Amino acid sequence: MGKKFTILLTLLLVSGSIYAQELFFKGELSTLLDNTEYAGSTIGNSRTIFAVRAVPCLGYRLDKNHSIVIGAELTKDFGSQDFLDSKRFVAYYQFENSSFGTNVGIFSREHLIGEYSRAIFSDGFLIYNNLIQGVAFRATRQRSYAEVVLDWYGLYSEECREKFRVLVSGGGEFANIGYAGATFSMQHYANKSTFRGNVVDNIMLNPYIGIKFNAFFDFDIRLGALLSAQQDRKIDNGWVTPAGGEFLLSISRWGAYINNNLYVGQNLMPLYSSTGVDGVQYGDDLYTCDPFYSTTEGIYNRTGIGYSHSFAKDRVRVTAEVVLHYDGKRLFNQQLLGIQVFICPKLYSKKP
């Protein structure tokens, strides 16, 4: 074992002497606002998320393809009396070349390239769950891409259920303006160490096809399906398979945009009110999607009017949006604001 380690260390040192090595600082500072006004709704709750997030990281680039990054994600809720409300470790290895990349460890969702519907991840969920704990593989070509992700985000213990998710996303362009793709999500929601026999499977498939073109405004028109299969193994009634169709329209120019997302179909969250053997409702612990996909009226429409633009050579990104939600009965509104600053200076470079 010692001999193998010595050989490996020697190879790393030799390879490091061939290519330039760099020490760099990678930092992100974000101010995030998500305010929902859902009074009178039986689906979502009115609440305000207003927080600042800092992600300071120190990285070491072994050569042009390999790097190691270590840091932290620190979150502070505005108005909180605590010094920090959340502190999470960040540490990952990254390989990147012109056509393939991988991350292993704990890393930001910024590294993902897949298309993920709000029927999988809501805006509010992503504010406090911006890290992937596991591994991501991605491959890109000139007109296509593919990605596979394993996110292990729940530790099997007395306090937490064992939870992990597998994501697969891929797509490509055709005929100059057309594109097609699909996203697959398989969520495993298992037991705590204090009980057994309460495992839930939550599977979602989202195939889609669309076109993009410019006619003074930039247009993006997409038609897709949301196909789900869910099973509570505690209840012996087999799988439930809620499904629906989704039509998305985006019109944009100069950073301003109007996005409309129309969903027609069944309640995609049928197990939301179910309880485990501990008597605790599954609720948001199981479902990470936008709560309006649980509508029982057969229709949900989301209209977003906003502005998104990057400044200072893409180091500053500003996004502001007002959202109108229609659940088949009433109209509700939401406001979103995000200001992100990215810093990545080179601290030290050793030339070969």
* CATH code for the domain in which residue 131 is found: 2.40.160.40
Q: Which residues contact 33 (CB under 8 A, 6 or more apart)?
A: 48, 49, 50, 335, 336, 337, 338
The arithmetic mean of pLDDT across residues 112-125, rounded, is 93
What is the number of structural domains in the chain?
1
The arithmetic mean of pLDDT across residues 85-93, rounded, is 96
pLDDT of residue 198: 83
The arithmetic mean of pLDDT across residues 10-16, rounded, is 49
The arithmetic mean of pLDDT across residues 60-88, rounded, is 94
* Start-end of H helices in the chain: 2-18, 123-128, 283-286
Residues of the chain above pLDDT 90, percent:
76
Res. 18 pLDDT band, cuts 50 70 90? low
Res. 172 pLDDT band, cuts 50 70 90? very high
The arithmetic mean of pLDDT across residues 90-97, rounded, is 96
Question: Which long-range contacts does 320-323 make (Cβ < 8 Å, 24+ apart)?
Answer: none
The arithmetic mean of pLDDT across residues 110-125, rounded, is 93
| Per-residue pLDDT tens digits for 198-239 | 899 999 999 999 999 999 999 999 999 999 999 998 776 789
132-141, 187-196, 262-271 — which is least confidently predicted? 187-196
Nearest to 140 by CA among 120, 169, 117: 169
Task: Please determine, for residue 15, whether its predicted confidence score (pLDDT) is greater than 70.
Answer: no
Reduced to 3 states (helix: H, G, I; strand: E, B; else coil), residue 265 is: strand
The arithmetic mean of pLDDT across residues 254-282, rounded, is 93
Nearest to 290 by CA among 38, 43, 20: 43
Domain region containing 295:
2-350
pLDDT of residue 351: 62
Predicted structure pTM score: 0.88
Alpha-carbon distance values, 44 to 27, 122, 250, 259, 269 (Å)? 34, 12, 25, 21, 13
Q: Which residues contact 223 (CB under 8 A, 6 or more apart)?
A: 208, 209, 210, 245, 246, 247, 248
231 close to 238: Cβ distance less than 8 angstroms: yes
Res. 4 pLDDT band, cuts 50 70 90? low
Cα distance between residue 276 and residue 179, in whole Å: 42
Taking the alpha carbons at both ends of the chain, their separation in whole angstroms is: 30
Task: Please determine, for residue 39, whether its predicted confidence score (pLDDT) is greater than 90.
Answer: no
Res. 9 pLDDT band, cuts 50 70 90? very low
Class of residue 223 by CB neighbours under 10 A (exposed 0-12, middle 13-18, buried 19+): middle
267 close to 296: Cβ distance less than 8 angstroms: yes
pLDDT of residue 12: 47
Task: Please determine, for residue 21, whether its predicted confidence score (pLDDT) is greater than 60.
Answer: yes
Indicate the average pLDDT of the chain.
Answer: 91
Task: Please determine, for residue 17, whether its predicted confidence score (pLDDT) is greater than 60.
Answer: no
| Per-residue pLDDT tens digits for 308-329 | 999 988 899 999 999 999 999 9
| Per-residue pLDDT tens digits for 293-312 | 999 999 999 999 999 999 98
pLDDT of residue 196: 83
